[in-house]
Chain A
């Protein structure tokens, strides 16, 4: 079956490093940390108090009334989606895209937890009559996809993959499939998470999954450093406008790169621990290569899942070696969670976005906070920003989730337009909440 080429024509993000893609990308290149000690009173008794909250409050960007009908995760998703849409040169409900050929796939790992818990608090404290009638459509997992889909008038489909920390790589894989199969011409794909909350911090703390480096929070997320002690919970959202090459060319769109393949697997090993043999992770990468019709020789870069957990980082290094064989030597691996923290359901999207930009700008952001690299990893970890060579470039972004899901997304710089000055992008300036609606 001939399959259609799927290109990336728009990017949007709101992260602990910045309220848009330009600021986030600059932060990644500078090696800036987005993690900090939580200042909330509720955090005081917790053993692990380091997190990465977004740099720009979504309520300062969105209209007040729309924001109050959205869970925080949907507020973040909306900010990123409108930036991506404007960045693609598209206007909301404009005539550049047939609504019947436009779909949305926005993942989340946990969803509207803050609304769920806040509403329950209201009911307990003030009675059922004070509960918001909007609570269910705000807290449901598909709230962000539904809200953004409604706003864009996307009629080809509205989807919400849920696979914990692999969720938004699934969104991108789904968008790729939809366009390849001819079910849509344009898919807004990405993920969101907004669950920095006493309950998540307490629970991840109980699991001993998150870092307790409270006295040195900016260095808490340190993938592959020997002193890593867990991930840093982050919030944020990232979105990519995926488009058939044909459709993008017909409207003269700027192209960042091409999504050429995806691979899925399930560890079927444990609910929260990776299989130490890395079989599932390896399979996801191998399947992505096969899907793309590429070989390990073609890969120059991997944005690793690299959450900064003792077991996870070592297992992933093994998996990368198994997937790439001897070709691992020419692959630059980084872990951008060292800067952004772990966006859970937004992680796949922000890291695929970073992979696309790394190829587009031929520059891989480094991995910060590595004082002493874990020995014998057998992979080339970039500890500082690293240039990539000329010619064709291909990269894999890995995302692995609780429950067992492994999803690898493979991107290339094929069809890429010349990089443009990020400051010249309309989406980089001002408030995406409003610029996105301007026509």
Chain B
């Protein structure tokens, strides 16, 4: 079972890859749109990459609720639990 920090780290790599955000800025309290300037289409790409990386399903209606990095990490932890 990956730790919260490990999940955050992998998520940060994805966000960097897709949106060019510095991985160190991808911290749990950050909002994807307001703090990290990730646009809605990039968010779709991030969600799909998360599904591949963590072997989880993120339906579109759930994806809408993932406002912060912490929300996404918690979702992945719950899905993997």
Contact = CB atoms under 8 A, between A and B. Distances in A.
Interface string B19-53: 11000000000000000000001001100100100
A134 B20 contact: no
Q: Which of B18, B19, B48 has the most CB of A within 10 A?
A: B48
Contact of B19 (A65, A129, A132): A65
A368 B68 CA distance: 60
Most chain A Cβ neighbours within 10 Å, of B18, B20, B51: B20
A133 B41 contact: yes
Interface in A105-159: 129-130, 132-134
B20 A64 contact: yes
B45 A65 contact: no
A130 B48 contact: yes
Of the four ranges (under 10, 10 to 19, 20 to 34, 35 or more), the interface on chain B belongs to under 10
A129 B47 CA distance: 10
A63 interface: yes
Main secondary structure of the interface of A (DSSP, over half): helix
Contact of B20 (A63, A129, A132, A133): A63
Given A129-B48, A130-B48, A65 B20 contact: yes
Contacts of A130: 48
Interface string A55-67: 0000000011110
A129 B48 CA distance: 7
Interface string A35-63: 00000000000000000000000000001
Nearest to A135: B41
B44 A133 contact: yes
- Counting chain A residues whose Cβ lies within 8 A of the other chain, the interface size class is under 10
A64 B45 CA distance: 15
A287 B18 CA distance: 50
A115 to B, nearest CB: 14
A129 B20 CA distance: 22
B45 A133 contact: yes
Nearest to B19: A65
A130 B19 CA distance: 17
Contacts of B18: 65
Nearest to B18: A65
A228 B70 CA distance: 64
Contacts of A133: 41, 44-45
A133 B40 CA distance: 9
Nearest to A66: B20
A134 B41 contact: yes
A129 B57 CA distance: 11
Contacts of A65: 18-20
A65 B41 CA distance: 13
Interface string A247-281: 00000000000000000000000000000000000
Contacts of B44: 133
Nearest to A129: B48
Interface string B59-81: 00000000000000000000000
B55 to A, nearest CB: 14
B54 to A, nearest CB: 15
A70 to B, nearest CB: 13
B17 to A, nearest CB: 8
15 contacts: A63-B20, A64-B20, A65-B18, A65-B19, A65-B20, A66-B20, A129-B48, A129-B51, A130-B48, A132-B45, A133-B41, A133-B44, A133-B45, A134-B41, A134-B45
What are the 8 A-B residue pairs with the smallest beta carbon separation, nearest first?
A: A65-B20, A133-B41, A133-B44, A134-B41, A129-B48, A130-B48, A65-B19, A133-B45
Interface of A: 63-66, 129-130, 132-134
Given A65-B20, A133-B44, A134-B41, 5 more contacts: A63-B20, A64-B20, A65-B18, A66-B20, A133-B45
